[in-house]
Each structure stands twice: as structure tokens, then as C-alpha cells.
Amino acid sequence: MFPTQPLLYALIAQTPDAAPEPQQSVILQYLDQGGWMMYVILIVSIFGVVLFLERFFDLFIMRRLNAKNFMANLVNLVEQKNLRQALDACQIKSRHPLVGVAKAGVIRANRREKEIERAMENEMLAALPHLQKRVAIMALLANVATLLGLLGTIFGLISAFTSVSAASAAERQSALAAGISQAMYTTAFGISVAVPLLFFHHILSKRMEKILMDVEGGATALLVAMTGMKREP
């Protein structure tokens, strides 16, 4: 007979152990330790990042324009009374409001100064809401994240004191530590979300201000050029 028993022992010894259960990721552990408010703050952060990327693409990519070179070329054409070429120069593919404002002025180059100025102002006012769209929400989300972190802190402290009052003498220390830990996690996460959102809001606001300055400066330069063109003999 074959020595089946020693062979069976050898096969059992060579059988690999069962695969260990996958451990929870560090991020999920961090969120779980902070309580349910952590997931609310996480949703706010995701919404803020998506909003920033959308506004960044619109303000920095779609409205990209070398305003200095554009206006230098346009003013030069207007001063030379090449209004047809000046109008063609305004046909570039850019959503920068300076293009529309300049085009509105060039189209009315032969009209009165007040009419030209009014047309460019109307075009500027029409473009303003599109520049400011959803930028202020970034600051709102930053404040919301901070307040949610503080609210989670209060809930954590309430949970800690409630657990301490209901726990035995041996369990009070661990219950208090768990509640305070939950409170600190939500505070830290709320501030960690709020700081980048405020930074994103600053970036978008500065870009918006830069676009408006380019539009105002370009409109003034173009109006002066067209006024001088009319005064020439």
C-alpha cells in the first residue's frame, strides 16, 4: 500500500494559506473615523473641483487672447482708416469680450463718438455676466466646507460626551478619545477643503479682473483712435 497519510500531510503543508482579506484604504479609514459629515464635506470638495476646472477652461482657454498685440494691430488699422481690415481683424476665434467690444466700435466707426461709446459699453455689460458666472460659488463652497467641519466637530463632541455618560468607568477613556478624534477629523478635513477652494476662487477672480482691465483699456484706446481719425482732414 502507498503511504497515503504522509503524502496527504505533505500536500496540506504545501497548500498556500487563504488570501488575506483586503484592507480598507487609508482614505476610507480617514473618512470613517470622521463620521458621516466627512462624506458631506467630500461631496462639497468634488463639486468645487469640478466647478473650478469648468471655469478655468472657460476663462483661461476659451477666452485666451493676446490683448496687447490685438489692440496694437487694430488701432494701427483704424488710424490708417483701413476699417475693412480692422473689421476682419475682429473675426478671430476667441470668446474674449474685447473682441466683441472692439467689433462693436469698428462697425460704428463713422458714427458719433457717443454712439460708438454706448455700443461698446453695451457689449461690455453683456459680456460681464458670463465672466462672473459661478465664480462667487467657489468662495461660498469654501465657507460651507469650513462650517461643515465645525458642525462635525460639534457632533463629535456631543457623541463623545454622550458615550462617556453611558459607558462604564473602564470604557469612558476610550469612548471620549473616539469622540474627540471624530471631532478633530472633521475640523481638519473641512479646513483642508476650504483652503484650496479659496485659492481657486482667487485664481478665477484675478483672471476675471485681468480680462475686464483688457476690455476697458482696449475700448478706451480704440475710441481715442477713432476720434482722432475723424478729426484728421
pLDDT tens by residue, 182-213:
888 888 899 999 999 999 999 999 999 999 99
Q: Can you give the residue ranges of every domain in the chain?
A: 35-57+65-228
Separation CA 157–CA 153 (nearest Å): 6
The answer, yes or no, to whether residue 97 has pLDDT greater than 50, is yes
Whether 187 and 152 have beta carbons less than 8 Å apart is answered as yes
Can you tell me the mean pLDDT for 73-89?
90
Can you tell me the mean pLDDT for 166-187?
74
Confidence of residue 19 (pLDDT cuts 50, 70, 90): very low
Whether 156 and 180 have beta carbons less than 8 Å apart is answered as yes
Can you tell me the mean pLDDT for 216-226?
91
Query: With DSSP H G I counted as helix, E B as strand and the rest as coil, what are the percentages for the chain, rounded to 5?
Result: 80, 0, 20
State residue 168's pLDDT score: 66
**95-131 as b/e: b if 16+ CB within 10 A:** ebbbbbbbbbbbebbeeeeeebbebbeebbeebeeeb
Please give the model's pTM, rounded to 2 decimal places.
0.79
Separation CA 213–CA 98 (nearest Å): 10
**Can you tell me which residue has the cell 478633530?**
184
Confidence of residue 24 (pLDDT cuts 50, 70, 90): low
State residue 161's pLDDT score: 75
